[in-house]
Structure 1
Amino acid sequence: MEVFYYVVFGVLGIVVAALELSKNNKNQINTSSAFTSFKNNYVVVYSLMMAGDWLQGPYVYSLYSTYELSSGEIGQLFIAGFGSSILGRKRACVTYCITYILSCITKHSPHYEVLMVGHVLGGIANSLLFSSFESWLVAEHNKRGFEQQWLSLTFSKAVFFGNGLVAIIAGLFGNLVVDSFSLGPVAPFDAAACFLAIGMAVILSSWSENCGDPSDNKDLITQFRGAAVAIASDEKIALLGAIQSLFEGSMYTFVFLWTPALSPNGEEIPHGFIFAMLMLASMLGSSLASLLLARSSPKVESYMQIVFLVSAASLLLPVIMDSFEAPSQLDGGGITFSGCFQLLGFCIFEVCVGLFWPSIMKMRSQYIPEEARSTIMNFFRIPLNILVCVILYNMHAFSMTVVFGMCSFFLFVASILQRRLMLILDKPKANDWTPLNERTTKKIL
Structure 2
Amino acid sequence: MSSFYQLNLALFAAGNAYLLYRQYKREQKPSASAPPPTAAASASGDDDSDRDVEIDGSSAVAASKEAVRKFQWDFFLVYALAVAADWLQGPHIYAIYKYEKQIPEKTVAALYAAGFISGAISASFAGELADRHGRRLACLVYCGMYVVTCLTMFSDNLAVLFVGRLAGGVSTTLLFSVFEAWMITEYHSRGLAASQLKLSGVFGYMTTLSCVVAIVSGVVGDVLVGYLGGRVWPFVASIGCSLGAAWFIVKTWRENFGTKSITPNTLRDVRSGITTILSDSRIFSLGITSCFFEGAMYLFIFFWSAALKSARVGSGGPLADQDLPYGLIFSCFMCAMMGGSAFFGLFSANHNRESAAYVLMSVTLLASACLSAAVVLENEMGVFWALCAIEASIGAYFPSMALLKSEVVEDGVRGRVYSILRFPLNVFVVVVHSLDQEGDEHRNRVFMMLAALLMVAFFVVKRNLGPASK
TM-score bin, normalised by smaller chain: 0.7 to 0.9
Is 1:172 matched up with 2:219? Answer: yes
Q: Percent identity?
A: 27
Cα deviation per residue 1:213-247 (whole Å; 9 max; x = unaligned)?
35378533333434444444444433332122111
The code of the aligned residue for 1:387 comes to F
Amino acid at match of 2:83: M
- What is the alpha-carbon distance in structure 2 between the residues aligned to residue 133 and residue 81 of structure 1? 20
Question: Cα–Cα, structure 1 residues 254 and 408, in superposed 2: closer, same or farther, change >3 Å?
Answer: same
Q: Which runs of 5+ in 2 are unaligned?
A: 32-60, 131-136, 314-320
**Distance in 1 separating the partners of 2:283 and 2:360:** 16
1:151-210: CA deviation from partner (whole Å, max 9, x where unpaired)? 75794586166413212211222233345x373443322222222233334444x23663
Is residue 2:438 matched to residue 1:392? no
Distance 2:106 2:371 in 1: 21
Letter aligned with residue 329 of structure 2: I
Q: Which moved more, 1:276-285 or 1:220-229?
A: 220-229
* 1:55 alignment counterpart: 88
| C-alpha displacement of 1:260 | 4.7
Match of 1:116 among 153, 162, 180: 162
SS in 1 for 2:122: coil
Q: Which has the higher helix share?
A: 2
Q: Partners in 2 of 1:402 and 1:234 — Cα distance?
A: 36
CA distance in 2, matches of 1:393, 1:202: 40
Equivalent position amino acid for 2:112 in 1 = F
Q: Is the 8 A contact 1:58 1:272 kept in 2?
A: no
**Aligned equivalent of 2:462:** 422
For the aligned residues, what is the CA RMSD? Answer: 3.6
TM-score, length-normalised on structure 1?
A: 0.77
CA contact (8 A) 2:185 2:411 kept: no
Runs (5+) with no aligned partner, structure 1: 325-336, 430-445
Whole-Å Cα distance in 1 between the matches of residues 184 and 358 of structure 2? 31
Q: Which moved more, 1:281-290 or 1:149-158?
A: 149-158
Q: Normalised by the size of structure 2, how large is the TM-score? A: 0.74
How far the C-alpha of 1:414 sits from its partner, in A, is: 2.5
**Native 8 Å contact 2:296 2:450 kept in 1:** yes
Corresponding residue for residue 80 of structure 1: 114
* SS of equivalent to 2:229: coil
Q: Is the 8 A contact 1:168 1:277 kept in 2?
A: no
Amino acid at match of 2:442: V
Name the stretch that deviates more: 370-379 or 345-354.
370-379
What amino acid does structure 2 have at the position aligned with 1:409?
M
Q: Tell me whether 36-45 or 265-274 shows the greater mean CA deviation.
A: 265-274
Contact 1:81-1:119 at 8 Å conserved across structures = yes
Give the counterpart letter for 1:285 in structure 2: G
The alpha-carbon deviation at position 388 of structure 1 amounts to: 0.8
The count of residues paired between Structure 1 and Structure 2 equals: 410
Q: Tell me what 1:405 maps to.
A: 445
What amino acid does structure 2 have at the position aligned with 1:87?
S
The correspondence for 1:129, drawn from 175, 181, 188, is 175
Contact 2:340 2:393 in 1 (8 A): yes
Shift of 1:300: 4.2
Q: Distance between the aligned counterparts of 1:354 and 1:142, measured in 2?
A: 25
Partners of 1:303 and 1:131 in 2: CA distance: 21
User: 1:354 Cα shift?
Assistant: 0.8
Alignment partner, residue 283 of structure 1: 338
Task: Pick closer, same or farther for the CA change 1:377–1:191 going to 2, 3 Å.
Answer: closer
Aligned match of 1:213: 258
Tell me by how many angstroms 1:60 deviates: 2.4
- The aligned amino acid for 1:169 is V
